[in-house]
């Protein structure tokens, strides 16, 4: 016990003297050396404490962030897989669409607002008069909407909607003997009336006799015609008849721009025509 006490006394004496020396002579070389030595010895613990303390302090937030990132990563991977699958499907569909459009000789880029419809019924008794399409008032089809057919990738006037039912409509073809349209004859833009003849040909009428109507002239819908949008191809003049002695006009046969015999799909252009425009009922009266 006494030895231990002596040792304790010596120890406290030693360290107390050392401390007092450091306190008494803070600017001496020995104090300065001890201070520097202590600082450099203990500095690493502070240095690495600071370094890893930063990580330790951010551990909870980082852990949550890691979990969220992992979850988000899984969701994104799943989404990417689905997107890749959809892209592949879309590419296949686009390719199929292009192939079908090419084979059907139709073009999807039309400058009018409307909807595509299929020809679902044609009556042999009225082959050049009308047919039915599979779209009706449920698809916002209205009476007198313009019906276009596509041939060789080019839109041509086929007729107009004549009767509308919820799920189908009846189209009166331009080749119908009761159908007509105001047209413009290229290149001068001379306006005339094109009429159906009940056959595969059309007839252009009321062409002034002094006009230079020639075979091969292209006929389009006239800007002055209310029923159809302007500039739609109607057909091409195939034969010009000489003026009858009792008439002031000349007539011509026109090949329709659209062959109704091969028409399987049409584009119905929504016209939003005024209500007072005479419809089929008015025509019937």
Partner 1 sequence: MSILIELFLYLSAGTFYWWWTQNLAVFGLAPNFIFAAALSAAILAGPVKAVAWGFFLGLYADMLGAGMFGGYALTYSLMAYAVYIVKRHFDMDSLFSQLVGALSLSWLCMLFYQMLSLVFFRRNPTGLKIFLTEPFLNALAVPVVFQLFYGLKRRFNIL
Residue among 156, 151, 279, 280 nearest 229 (CA): 156
> Taking a C-beta distance cutoff of 8 angstroms, is the pair 239, 252 a contact?
yes
Residue 30 near partner 1 by CB under 8 A: no
Give me the residue label for tokens 């990132």. 69
CB count within 10 Å of CB 120 equals: 13
Q: How far is the CB of 71 from partner 1 (least distance, A)?
A: 29
Residue 8 near partner 1 by CB under 8 A: yes
∠ CA 262-264-265, nearest 5°, is: 130
Q: Of 24 and 125, which has the nearer Cβ to partner 1?
A: 24
**Residues 9-28 close enough to bind partner 1 by CB under 8 A:** 10-12, 15-16, 18-24, 26
Residue 42 near partner 1 by CB under 8 A: yes
Residue 51 near partner 1 by CB under 8 A: no
Instruction: Tell me the C-alpha to C-alpha distance, in Å, between residue 143 and each of 146, 161, 179, 267.
Output: 9, 5, 14, 14
Total residues at interface with partner 1 (CB under 8 A)? 30
Going residue by residue from 52 to 81, which x/- string records binding to partner 1, judged by CB under 8 A?
A: -x---x------------------------
Q: Of 40 and 246, which has the nearer Cβ to partner 1?
A: 40
Residue 227 near partner 1 by CB under 8 A: no
Q: How far apart are CA 214 and CA 87, in angstroms?
A: 52
Q: Of 34 and 110, which has the nearer Cβ to partner 1?
A: 34
Query: Is omega for the bond preceding 187 within 30 degrees of 0, making it cis?
Result: yes
| Paired tokens of 146 | 């313009």
**Which residues are at the interface with partner 1 (CB under 8 A)?**
4-5, 7-8, 10-12, 15-16, 18-24, 26, 31, 34-35, 38-39, 42, 45-46, 48-50, 53, 57
């Amino acid at each position: 016990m006494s030895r231990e006490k002596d040792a304790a006394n010596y120890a406290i004496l030693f360290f107390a003297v050392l401390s007092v020396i450091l306190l008494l002579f803070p600017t001496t070389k020995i104090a300065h050396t001890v201070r520097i030595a202590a600082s450099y010895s203990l500095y690493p613990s502070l240095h690495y404490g600071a370094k890893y303390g930063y990580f330790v302090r951010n551990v909870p937030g980082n852990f949550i962030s890691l979990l969220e990132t992992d979850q988000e990563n899984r969701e994104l991977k799943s989404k990417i897989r689905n997107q890749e699958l959809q892209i592949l499907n879309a590419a296949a569909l686009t390719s199929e669409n292009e192939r079908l459009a090419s084979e059907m000789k139709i073009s999807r880029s039309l400058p009018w607002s409307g909807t595509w419809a299929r020809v679902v019924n044609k009556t042999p008794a009225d082959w050049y008069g009308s047919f039915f399409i599979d779209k009706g008032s449920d698809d916002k089809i209205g009476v007198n909407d313009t019906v276009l057919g596509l041939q060789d990738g080019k839109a041509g006037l086929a007729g107009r909607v004549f009767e509308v039912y919820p799920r189908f409509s009846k189209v009166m073809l331009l080749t119908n003997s009761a159908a007509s349209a105001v047209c413009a004859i290229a290149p001068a833009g001379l306006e005339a009336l094109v009429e159906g003849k009940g056959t595969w040909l059309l007839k252009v009428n009321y062409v002034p006799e002094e006009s230079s109507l020639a075979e091969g002239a292209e006929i389009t819908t006239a800007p002055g015609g209310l029923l159809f949008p302007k500039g739609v191809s109607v057909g091409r003049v195939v034969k010009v008849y000489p003026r009858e002695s009792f008439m002031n006009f000349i007539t011509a046969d026109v090949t329709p721009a659209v062959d109704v015999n091969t028409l399987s799909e049409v584009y119905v252009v929504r016209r939003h025509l005024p209500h007072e425009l005479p419809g089929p009922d008015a025509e019937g009266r």
